[in-house]
Structure 1
């Protein structure tokens, strides 16, 4: 009987991780990169996935021809900084690209999950703002209806909340009103 083949750990790595290292990983997981460190998240809840898919449809239905909403894409927000928002609205996206530069991103949307709440509320908004992404939408699921918080970059380069509620209205990157409560049902 042949000896079992040794298991190779795809996360075994010496030194800081780079964008190229992350893109070469042979795993199908939510792996983000922040200054040489990996951020690995578990799969989201069914409720999270359902709302994400419904939001993807709503954003694409309202999008002008030069913009697309994409789910879970790699966004380069700096050197060796790759983040994966739940949704991103991208101007003239290269559909064959593995990574999109933040300059092409007009909106990011994060649905807060218990496993990534700190990242979605505190860390990612700062990184998205530093990268110049004009609009950031954070959706809190909670126990009741989802609540959206729309944040726009101000003149200082920081996000300021422009509106919040179970129904949100965007004027940028294009006009759309989304009833989060109805989409979550």
Structure 2
């Protein structure tokens, strides 16, 4: 379903809870906006270091992915009724330029790059929402205060919640879920792999 967008300055004037239909009318190109239980969660564009890490990780994953698995940054993912989140990186079997909102049953992995402003939200709240949606794998990218040494934390869904299965810092390798291979967090610091 593609809803007709309203002018950017007009969409903020909204009465009552937001529906998915209302949400999908928001024009593209503004801040990151997610829908949670009738509320909009608005985030400013992330810092350049955050964007660079998510883009480089998406590139590394895409290079290892088979043709039937798309790896993209910031896709709409329907987590439940009136809940659409936008993970930093998504590996999905649901492909096509016409897919506006992706279904969690078609998603293998979601990735969130932790920032000082979203660390608690991604560790606790999004962790819970992704587990309720039954997304099999959740990868967190945690960086030190200088954005210099990323740590990758891989979690697998089991018994209704995520359990950490592997962690790697720069110079170590992290075995990703099939069909992906290994990644060294130091590779995220390189301009080209």
Tell me the TM-score normalized by structure 2. 0.86
Deviation at 1:177, TM superposition (A): 1.0
Aligned position for 1:63 = 65
Aligned position for 1:4 = none
Question: Do the aligned partners of 2:61 and 2:180 also contact (CA within 8 Å) in 1?
Answer: no
Distance 2:67 2:14 in 1: 42
Aligned position for 2:4 = none
Aligned position for 2:164 = 161
Corresponding position: 1:176 with 2:178: no
Question: Do the aligned partners of 1:55 and 1:183 also contact (CA within 8 Å) in 2?
Answer: yes
Question: Do the aligned partners of 2:33 and 2:43 also contact (CA within 8 Å) in 1?
Answer: yes
Other structure's SS at 2:17 match:
coil
More displaced 10-residue stretch of structure 1: 68-77 or 137-146 = 137-146
RMSD (Å), alpha carbons: 1.5
Q: How many residues matched?
A: 177
Deviation at 1:142, TM superposition (A): 1.7
Aligned position for 2:20 = 19
Question: Do the aligned partners of 2:79 and 2:129 also contact (CA within 8 Å) in 1?
Answer: yes
Give the counterpart of 2:111 among 104, 109, 129: 109
Q: 4+ residue runs of structure 1 moved beyond 3 angstroms? A: none
* Unaligned residue ranges in structure 1 (runs of 5+): 1-6
Aligned position for 2:150 = 146
**Superimposed CA distance per residue, residues 84-116 of structure 1 (whole angstroms, 9 cap, x where no aligned partner):** 000000014233111101111110000011222
Other structure's SS at 1:128 match:
helix
Question: Do the aligned partners of 1:107 and 1:135 also contact (CA within 8 Å) in 2?
Answer: yes
Distance 2:78 2:56 in 1: 25
Deviation at 1:26, TM superposition (A): 2.3
**Superimposed CA distance per residue, residues 1-30 of structure 1 (whole angstroms, 9 cap, x where no aligned partner):** xxxxxx944222111111111110125221
**Superimposed CA distance per residue, residues 58-95 of structure 1 (whole angstroms, 9 cap, x where no aligned partner):** 11110011101111000001000000000000014233
Distance 1:101 1:54 in 2: 24
